[in-house]
Amino acid sequence: MTLTLDDARQLDREDPLYKFRNEFYVRDDVIYLDGNSLGLLSKRAEQSLLDMLESWKNFGIDGWTTGEHPWFYLSESLGNQMAELVGAKPDEVVVSGSTTVNLHQLAATFYEPRDSKTKILADELNFPSDIYALQSQIKLKGYDPAEHLIRVRSRDGHTLHEEDIIAQMTDDVALIVLPSVLYRSGQILDMKRLTAEAHKRNIMIGFDLCHSIGAIPHSLDEWDVDFAFWCNYKHLNAGPGSVAALYVNEKHFGQTPGLAGWFSSHKEKQFDMEHTLTPAENAGAFQIGTPHILSAAPLIGSLELFKEAGIENIRKKSLKLTQFMMDVIDQELMEYNFTYGNPMEDHQRGGHIYLEHDEAARICKALKDANVVPDFRAPKGIRLAPVALYNTFEDVYRTVQILKDIMKHETYKKYENKRGVVA
């Protein structure tokens, strides 16, 4: 059966989440498929930021303890609201720092090399920033990253075999840090299985949730994950450079943070100004400095939308969107030498499609000039992320037709096959 624009529109009419599109600033003339890099602004996130500016305007320094969202408790309050998205208890999550700062904090705390257990296990497909942080932490503990950072190899350059990861969980590994969803291919790793295998071998394990938070459900407590960290500007739509978040399993509460700072303090003790830290008795202990209030504020409005929509419903629609996209691609594009780099199975596929083509950089430029916003990943990857809260099945169908027209008429050839400064 040939899929048509009418089929896409029928799916939109049947979509229970379609109404949420009106909550976002979506340009009518642009198809935005880069929400796994930077989510669009919602009207509620905008309003919660404006409300926070008002609190500054009206209260001045008293905004730390007064108003609807007192700043002194905002990091913990937002963590409480986010906990449901990761399957955690409210006091196990705190909104703080950036992704890389939080990884530094967690690695500094939980990477404790001793005796023969001195290595960190990661993977060769991980986002570079995570690798840089782990290399730094190994050096700070007096070891050589070339010898003490193990990176699991990919068999195909796109995905990881969990058996290969488990095989590398050797007696000399002290810590494991892996992505929940691979940023290129969108592969979901089985966090439950990997955590169980790590703990069988007495190894701490944590996950980078940057490409899964807000796109797929998590059960971090049920899986007994030790820690996790993530950004909030992708699927959670909190804005460029928004404050990130972290999770620490309550079984680790009471452990002194590796990188201590003023906001690591127990709230009741913080203004005693003592030079001996009394850490908070929850995930708040893993904060470092003063929270960035205005960069956290959009999360207030954004999280309201996720509570109303429900992460299970978001995941259900996301899978339908990506499957529909692959079906239309199969129908329209296979003669143009595209190949898939993403998993085809629902249980392994995150929130985006990853196509490869030798002319990918110039194809992405042609798409942008045709008012479709994709994401290029060197050397030849095209990421297309139809986001459940604001993208439609019609967006998906039209994107593939535009891409087909670009390939058929070879309009991509007028562009240089080279990425921009920011890809």
42 found inside a domain: no
- Sequence-distant (6+) residues with CB within 8 A of 396 are 8, 321, 324, 325, 328, 386
Shared domain check, 219 and 348: no
With beta carbons less than 8 A apart as the criterion, state whether 108 and 259 touch: yes
Residue 88: give the domain boundaries.
Answer: 47-307
Maximum C-alpha span of the chain: 72
Q: Would the CA dihedral through 294, 296, 298, 300 be positive or negative?
A: negative
> Residue 409 domain-assigned?
yes
pLDDT per residue as tens, the chain (423 positions): 899 999 999 999 999 999 999 999 999 999 999 999 999 999 999 999 999 999 999 999 999 999 999 999 999 999 999 999 999 999 999 999 999 999 999 999 999 999 999 999 999 999 999 999 999 999 999 999 999 999 999 999 999 999 999 999 999 999 999 999 999 999 999 999 999 999 999 999 999 999 999 999 999 999 999 999 999 999 999 999 999 999 999 999 999 999 999 999 999 999 999 999 999 999 999 999 999 999 999 999 999 999 999 999 999 999 999 999 999 999 999 999 999 999 999 999 999 999 999 999 999 999 999 999 999 999 999 999 999 999 999 999 999 999 999 999 999 999 988 888 676
Q: Last residue of some domain: 307, 330, 346? A: 307
Model-wide pTM > 0.95: yes
Residue 239 and residue 146 share a domain: yes
Q: Could you tell me which residues are annotated as the binding site for pyridoxal 5'-phosphate? A: 99-100, 127-130, 208, 211, 233, 262, 290
Considering only CA atoms, which of 363, 420, 371 is closest in space to residue 28?
371
Chosen domain end from 285, 307, 329: 307
Question: What is the spatial distance between Cα 337 and Cα 356, in angstroms, rounded to a whole number?
Answer: 9
My answer on whether 116 and 260 are in the same domain is yes
CATH of the domain at 386: 3.90.1150.10
Last residue of one domain, picked from the residues 244, 278, 307: 307
Cα–Cα nearest to 317, from 220, 208, 214: 214
- DSSP assignment letter at 153: P
Q: Are residues 303 and 175 in the same domain?
A: yes
**What backbone phi and psi angles, to 5 degrees, belong to 227?**
-160, 165
Cα–Cα distances in angstroms (integers) from residue 310 to residues 217, 246, 307, in the given order: 10, 21, 5
Query: 220 and 132, same structural domain?
Result: yes
pLDDT for the residue numbered 419: 80
- Residue 112 CA from chain centroid, whole number: 26
Residue of 130, 183, 133 whose CA lies nearest to 158:
183
Q: Is residue 405 part of a domain?
A: yes
Answer whether residue 282 is part of any domain: yes
If asked whether residues 121 and 82 sit together in one domain, one would say yes
Task: Say if residues 248 and 68 touch (Cβ distance below 8 Å).
Answer: no
Name the amino acid, one letter, at 402. Answer: I
Q: Is residue 134 part of a domain?
A: yes
Assess whether 256 and 171 both reside in one domain. yes
* 232 belongs to a structural domain: yes
Q: Which residues are annotated as a binding site?
A: 99-100, 127-130, 208, 211, 233, 262, 290
H/E segment holding residue 55: helix 43-59
CA-CA distance, 41 to 298, in Å (whole number)? 9
Residues 314 and 342 in one domain: yes
Burial of 42 (0-12, 13-18, 19+ CB in 10 A): buried
The reply to whether 245 falls in a domain is yes
Burial of 404 (C-beta count, 10 Å sphere; 0-12/13-18/19+): middle
The reply to whether 234 and 357 lie within a common domain is no
The verdict on 294 and 175 lying in the same domain is yes
| Same-domain check for residues 333 and 216 | no
> Domain of 299: which CATH number?
3.40.640.10
- Measure Cα distances from 180 to 4, 187, 287 in Å: 34, 8, 22
Q: Are residues 89 and 211 in the same domain?
A: yes
Chain centroid, CA 270 distance in Å? 31
CA distances from 194 to 70, 108, 149, 422 (A): 39, 22, 18, 33
The number of domains in the chain is 2
Residue 38 lies in a domain: no
pLDDT of 244 reads 98
Residues 6+ apart with CB under 8 A from 389: 17, 20, 21, 23, 24, 237, 305, 309, 314
- Summarize pLDDT for 21-50 with one digit per residue, the tens: 999 999 999 999 999 999 999 999 999 999
